[in-house]
Amino acid sequence: MTNLSKRKENNSTDLKVYFIELAEFNNWADNRVINWLNQITDEQWNKIAISSFGSIRDTAIHIISSKKIWLDFWTNTQNPVYLSLEFKGTRLELINIWETVSAELKSFIENYPIAYYKKEINLKKPNGEMSTMEFRKTFPHMINHSTYHRGQLVTLLRQAGFSNLSNTDLFTYYNT
């Protein structure tokens, strides 16, 4: 157990405000990525690359799939399905899903009761393994996960010849 997991938040209202800020940051950064994806060609979108997911397309699908599955876990959606396992649509269809899920994330975080922050969330990993984790730990994980893969997208976009990039860092968000 890390020192962080032993730490207790002094004011849960502060944690909620921070989580709302993180949701807004995540959506802001995702909107920058969506802007880039709207500018690239289909060839760039599908270009095979050596990376965790093999293309800009597959990495983008993974990011939104993860964001969506966490919302499904948090809202106890019956039989949640990883989008990455079934998505066969177009870039525009994926972007539409991304924008919808981003709005749902913001609304969810704003309305999720502080009293539930220590609630155990049941989840099913992509390999079928079941697990649980407190909500207050899963939410920052989702934000961190998105940040990590947005960084991969930047590298993939550069490798595909796209250079009209902008910073998606939290520091930049706070100073924008």
In the chain, domain spans: 21-41+50-174
HSE-CB of 101 using CA atoms within 13 angstroms: 23
- Position with higher pLDDT, 55 vs 126: 55
Give the amino acid at 172.
T
pLDDT tops 90 at residue 150: yes
Report the Cα–Cα distance between both ends of the chain, in Å, rounded.
36
pLDDT tops 50 at residue 25: yes
What percentage of the chain carries pLDDT values higher than 90? Answer: 81
If pLDDT is split at 50, 70 and 90, which confidence band does 2 have? very low
Least confident of 10-19, 50-59, 95-104: 10-19
- Position with higher pLDDT, 85 vs 61: 61
pLDDT tops 70 at residue 10: no
If pLDDT is split at 50, 70 and 90, which confidence band does 126 have? confident
CA angle 154, 173, 168 (to 5 degrees): 0
Whole-prediction pTM value?
0.90
Give me the CATH code for the 21-41+50-174 domain, please: 1.20.120.450
Average pLDDT of the segment spanning 143-167: 96
Give the Cα separation of 176 and 169 in Å (integer): 11
Query: Which of 19-45 are b and which e, b meaning 16 or more Cβ less than 10 Å from the residue's Cβ?
Result: beebbbbbbebbebbbebbeebeeebb
Instruction: Give yes or no for a contact between 164 and 41, defined as CB atoms under 8 angstroms apart.
Output: no
User: In sequence order, which residues have a C-beta less than 8 Å from that of residue 40 and are 6 or more positions away?
Assistant: 56, 157, 160, 162
| The pLDDT value given to residue 4 | 43
Give the Cα separation of 113 and 131 in Å (integer): 22
